């Protein structure tokens, strides 16, 4: 069974074109063009070699005049963690009854009890 395409140039149909015409991997004196970028031809862009010694694939794509959507302000919760709140947190943990932790036999129950005690104190102290 053979597959045929209705359009003679599928690449052109999707307005994509290969834009790397330089070696993208240089290793032991050998240079090869094993990487490529296919990009929409309506974009204003450049591709360049980018030898930065962080990767053995040296390619840089710069897209110009890209507009990003403006994001609204979001609120951010800041926990006040300092030496005073840490000391208070540790002090509060020492006053907790840890009996159900040390005397328990169900590992899941022990963990859940520990986590509940810890989080209760943490959220109370670092609000």
Length in residues, the chain = 127
- CB count within 10 Å of CB 31 equals 12
Q: pLDDT of 8-42, one tens digit each?
A: 555 455 666 666 766 767 677 777 766 666 766 66
Residue 90: the pLDDT is 93
Encoded tokens for 48: 């360049």
Residue 3: the pLDDT is 39
Angle at 11 between CA 6 and CA 17, to 5 degrees: 165
Q: pLDDT of 63-77, one tens digit each?
A: 777 777 777 777 777
Q: pLDDT of 76-94, one tens digit each?
A: 778 888 899 999 999 999 9
pTM for the structure as a whole: 0.41
Residue 89: the pLDDT is 92
Please name which of 120, 123, 117, 89 lies closest in space to residue 101, comparing C-alpha atoms: 117
């Amino acid at each position: 069974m053979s597959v045929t395409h209705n359009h003679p140039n599928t690449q052109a149909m999707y307005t994509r074109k290969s834009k790397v015409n330089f070696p993208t991997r240089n290793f032991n004196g050998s240079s090869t063009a094993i990487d490529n970028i296919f990009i929409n031809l309506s974009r204003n862009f450049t591709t360049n070699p980018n030898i930065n010694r962080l990767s053995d694939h040296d390619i840089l794509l710069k897209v110009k005049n890209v507009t990003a959507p403006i994001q609204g302000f979001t609120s951010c919760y800041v926990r006040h963690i300092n030496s005073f709140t840490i000391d208070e947190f540790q002090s509060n943990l020492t006053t907790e009854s840890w009996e159900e932790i040390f005397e328990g036999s169900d590992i899941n129950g022990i963990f859940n009890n520990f986590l509940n005690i810890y989080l209760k104190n943490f959220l109370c102290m670092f609000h």
